[in-house]
Amino acid sequence: MVNKSIDCVFCENKSVCFNELTPQELSEINKNKVEISYKKDETIIKQNSFASNIFFIKKGLVKIYLESKDRDLIIEIGGKSKMLGLTSLNHTKYYKFSVVAIEDVVLCQINIEIINKIMLTNQYFNNQVISNLNTTIEKILNKLFCISHKQLQGRLADALICFSDEIYNNNKFTLGVSRKDLADITNMATENVVRILKEFNDKKIIKLAGKNIEIINYVELKKLSS
Amino acid sequence: MVNKSIDCVFCENKSVCFNELTPQELSEINKNKVEISYKKDETIIKQNSFASNIFFIKKGLVKIYLESKDRDLIIEIGGKSKMLGLTSLNHTKYYKFSVVAIEDVVLCQINIEIINKIMLTNQYFNNQVISNLNTTIEKILNKLFCISHKQLQGRLADALICFSDEIYNNNKFTLGVSRKDLADITNMATENVVRILKEFNDKKIIKLAGKNIEIINYVELKKLSS
DNA sequence: ATTTTTTATTGATATATATCAATTTTTTTT
DNA sequence: AAAAAAAATTGATATATATCAATAAAAAAT
């Protein structure tokens, strides 16, 4: 759904990326962007489709994941200020991942050509993009390490800490994803997610009521994670 | 060991990154680079050390890996033209990985400030750097998928294909790494590397003689990988 | 409000993979 | 060349984790 979008110049939700743009550059982006709303469960990016746009999330959460025949792997849960599609900059024609809204989402879509053009003229913006790519690399390496070196308890502890510290910014939250999604985040069987959540609940590390989770013993969770 | 290094302008080993530099830019790099030789097993980059240089490999192979208490995870075997340290550009102060020579290596070391400076003045170079970062992201995602979704046979098949197609460019090669390293590449136990290599040998998929490996049935290897 | 469908939960079992221990081979050092 | 150290190999066993099957609970559709 296309929104009546506000002018980028006055937008309150701008990423730090856009902070140092000149009024002309902002206006150029404004002319070449569309704001779109997605309902929960709608697909935003489909893996292997042509990559011609960069997405900038203004509101809501998305899951970014790799699709395969048997099983998905969720790379990241992204929220406000997350940029999607930078990995296709100057490089690959296709998106290498899928993105689906796990809440109602509002985002701005900007043509990749415009982004490229502004990177040429604005060095601050260029640096921000590179910074963004490097953060992505760090996050994926972290995930690679987590999945390859930690056991189930540690992986799930990591995921819970991430939801608390980075996604909901609250030790008490209502999980926006299913047990199956938690399994795709931590690369384990759904049944084991259920079992380990229960185990954490029994050990009074978390307080569990369906999708409502409260982290009670953060220290213990951190210990499990390492 | 510091070498008497040749002028970048005449260097035959330049990466495509440097292709479109002006003579002035090349000369600037030349003035601010050192060429160094490392012997097999020498450490080139130590994880968590200050990142102030970019490395460009001219000769030899390195292993790039994440260190941890119990176990290493080899991210990539890099060879000629591989750039190291770009992930620290404008971003993190520290190297997030270690790099060790697995053959005698010759590389050029360039101060990160110079790289940053040339990125500002040369748009082609800037794009090459971004391209390089995106390739890194793709590779790590691929590895993440491989380690999380494939069984031992598939993971080892992947590694062998990589050695053949990308590292040695030959279906017959002398492995420069130990069984333990193969285990750290594929995230499995060393004993299982040995067992599965033998299994492949018995099934006439490869011909195995210590470190000498010949891929006989490439098609079957590809099948195992998927 | 009732039915249908999807998701979550639980226990029992199977299986892939790691670990352990012992031996052999290869490499390095003396 | 001999001795010592490191790496590779092999088989037996343990264990973490997935799979299967059955039920319960929650959500969606009628």
Say whether both A139 and A165 belong to one domain: no
HSE at residue B173, side-chain half, CA atoms within 13 A, is 16
Q: Kindly determine whether residue B137 and residue A136, on different chains, have CB atoms separated by under 8 Å.
A: yes
Per the rule left: phi > 0, alpha: psi between -120 and 50, beta: everything else, B122 is: beta
CATH number at residue B177: 1.10.10.10
Q: Quick check: is A1 in a domain?
A: no
The pLDDT of residue A23: 85
The rounded radius of gyration (Å) of the Cα atoms in chain B is 19
Rounded to the nearest integer, the mean pLDDT of chain A is 91
Six-digit token pair at A214?
């409260």
Q: Kindly determine whether residue A88 and residue B134, on different chains, have CB atoms separated by under 8 Å.
A: yes
The number of domains in chain B is 2
Six-digit token pair at B105?
């290596």
Residue B53: pLDDT over 70: yes
Strand D contact at CB of residue A192, distance < 7 A:
yes
Q: Starting from the edge strand earliest in sequence, which strands make up the sheet with B206-209, in order?
A: B172-174, B212-215, B206-209
The pLDDT of residue A91: 63
pLDDT per position as a tens digit, A120-135: 889 889 999 999 999 9
Q: Quick check: is A3 in a domain?
A: no
pLDDT > 90 in chain B, percent: 75
Q: Which residue of A has its CA nearest to B75?
A: A141
Q: Quick check: is A75 in a domain?
A: yes
The pLDDT of residue B155: 97
Residue that finishes a domain, picked among A119, A147, A175: A147
Indicate the pLDDT class of residue B178, thresholds 50, 70 and 90: very high
Q: Quick check: is A35 in a domain?
A: yes
Say whether both B42 and B119 belong to one domain: yes
The pLDDT of residue B27: 85
Read off the DSSP letter of residue A121.
H
Which chain B residues contact residue A96 at CB under 8 A?
Answer: 138, 141
Length of chain A counted residue by residue: 226
Mean pLDDT of A159-164: 96
Say whether both B217 and B205 belong to one domain: yes
Say whether both A91 and A155 belong to one domain: no
Q: Quick check: is B1 in a domain?
A: no
Mean pLDDT of B187-193: 97
Round to the nearest angstrom and report the end-to-end CA distance of chain A: 43
B200/C14 CA-to-C1' distance in Å: 25
pLDDT per position as a tens digit, A9-18: 777 777 777 7
The pLDDT of residue B57: 94
Residue that finishes a domain, picked among A147, A181, A198: A147
Mean pLDDT of A208-214: 94
E strands present in chain A? 33-38, 43-45, 53-59, 62-66, 73-78, 83-84, 98-101, 105-111, 172-174, 206-209, 212-215
Say whether both B89 and B177 belong to one domain: no
Say whether both B134 and B163 belong to one domain: no
The pLDDT of residue A1: 62
Tell me the three state secondary structure of residue A35. strand
- Chain D bases near protein Cβ (<7 Å): 7-12, 16-21, 26-27
The pLDDT of residue A190: 97
Q: Kindly determine whether residue A138 and residue B87, on different chains, have CB atoms separated by under 8 Å.
A: yes
Residue A82: pLDDT over 90: yes
Using CA atoms, how far apart are residues B69 and A12, in angstroms rounded to an integer? 45
Task: Give contacts of A 134-153 with B, CB under 8 A.
Answer: 134-138, 140-141, 143-145, 147-149
The pLDDT of residue A6: 74
Mean pLDDT of B8-15: 72
The pLDDT of residue A168: 95
Mean pLDDT of B176-185: 96
Which chain B residues contact residue A70 at CB under 8 A?
Answer: 149
CATH number at residue A114: 2.60.120.10
Indicate the pLDDT class of residue A139, thresholds 50, 70 and 90: very high
B171 near A CB under 8 A: no
Cβ–Cβ < 8 Å for A220, A205: yes
Mean pLDDT of B12-25: 77
B118/C22 CA-to-C1' distance in Å: 59
The pLDDT of residue B93: 84
Which of A105, A106, A88, A110 has the alpha carbon at shortest distance from A97? Answer: A88
Which chain A residues contact residue B126 at CB under 8 A?
Answer: 119, 126
Q: Which residue of B has its CA nearest to A74?
A: B145
Q: Quick check: is A101 in a domain?
A: yes
Six-digit token pair at A40?
């929960």
Mean pLDDT of B175-194: 96
Which chain A residues contact residue B123 at CB under 8 A?
Answer: 120
Q: Quick check: is A161 in a domain?
A: yes
The pLDDT of residue B3: 67
The pLDDT of residue A66: 95
- Chain C bases near protein Cβ (<7 Å): 7-12, 16-21, 26-27
Say whether both A65 and A155 belong to one domain: no
Indicate the pLDDT class of residue B5, thresholds 50, 70 and 90: low
Separation in Å, CA of B70 to nearest CA in chain A: 9
Rounded to the nearest integer, the mean pLDDT of chain B is 91
HSE at residue B60, side-chain half, CA atoms within 13 A, is 22
The pLDDT of residue B4: 63
The pLDDT of residue B1: 62
Count chain A–chain B contacts defined by CB atoms under 8 A: 99
pLDDT per position as a tens digit, B78-127: 999 999 999 888 766 899 999 999 999 999 999 998 998 999 889 889 99
Decide: residue B112, CB within 10 A, 0-12 exposed, 13-18 middle, 19+ buried.
middle
Q: Kindly determine whether residue B87 and residue A134, on different chains, have CB atoms separated by under 8 Å.
A: yes
Indicate the pLDDT class of residue A87, thresholds 50, 70 and 90: confident
Say whether both A142 and A154 belong to one domain: no
Indicate the pLDDT class of residue B2, thresholds 50, 70 and 90: low
Q: Kindly determine whether residue A148 and residue B187, on different chains, have CB atoms separated by under 8 Å.
A: yes
Using CA atoms, how far apart are residues A62 and A73, in angstroms rounded to an integer? 14
Say whether both A94 and A183 belong to one domain: no
- String of DSSP letters for chain B: -B--PPPGGG-S---GGGTT--HHHHHHHHHTEEEEEE-TT-EEE-TTSB--EEEEEEES-EEEEE--SS--EEEEEE-TT-EE-GGGTTT-SB-SSEEEESS-EEEEEEEHHHHHHHHHH-HHHHHHHHHHHHHHHHHHHHHHHHHHH--HHHHHHHHHHHIIIIIS-SSEEE--S-HHHHHHHHTS-HHHHHHHHHHHHHTTSEEEETTEEEES-HHHHHHHH-
The pLDDT of residue B17: 74
3-state SS record for B113-176 = HHHHHHHHHCHHHHHHHHHHHHHHHHHHHHHHHHHHHCCHHHHHHHHHHHHHHHHCCCCEEECC
Say whether both A109 and A156 belong to one domain: no
The pLDDT of residue A36: 94
The pLDDT of residue A199: 95
Q: Quick check: is B3 in a domain?
A: no
Cβ–Cβ < 8 Å for B200, B213: no
The pLDDT of residue B74: 97
Which chain A residues contact residue B75 at CB under 8 A?
Answer: 141, 144
Alpha-carbon distances of A123 from A116, B99, B117, rounded to whole Å: 12, 31, 11
Using CA atoms, how far apart are residues B43 and A179, in angstroms rounded to an integer? 43
What's phi and psi for A162, nearest 5 deg? -65, -45
The pLDDT of residue A153: 97
Cα torsion B128, A66, A168, A4: sign = positive
Separation in Å, CA of A148 to nearest CA in chain B: 7
pLDDT per position as a tens digit, B129-155: 999 999 999 999 999 999 999 999 999
Say whether both B68 and B99 belong to one domain: yes
Which chain B residues contact residue A155 at CB under 8 A?
Answer: none
**Which are the contacts of A172, defined by CB distance < 8 A and separation ≥ 6?**
A212, A213, A214, A215
Which of A106, A85, A72, A96 has the alpha carbon at shortest distance from A177? Answer: A72
What range does the domain containing A120 cover?
Answer: 8-147
Of A68, A126, A135, Cβ closest to residue B149? A68
The pLDDT of residue B41: 92
Using CA atoms, how far apart are residues B129 and B131, in angstroms rounded to an integer? 5
Mean pLDDT of B21-28: 85
Strand D contact at CB of residue A151, distance < 7 A:
yes
Say whether both A133 and A218 belong to one domain: no
Residue that finishes a domain, picked among B123, B147, B171: B147
Cα torsion B135, A79, A47, B141: sign = positive
Q: Kindly determine whether residue A91 and residue B130, on different chains, have CB atoms separated by under 8 Å.
A: yes
Of A126, A140, A144, Cβ closest to residue B73? A144
The residues facing A23 across adjacent strands are none
Closest protein CA to C1' of nucleotide D19, residue: A189
Indicate the pLDDT class of residue B176, thresholds 50, 70 and 90: very high
The pLDDT of residue A29: 87
Of B120, B130, B140, Cβ closest to residue A137? B140
B189 near A CB under 8 A: no
Amino acid at B30: N
Q: Kindly determine whether residue A73 and residue B144, on different chains, have CB atoms separated by under 8 Å.
A: yes
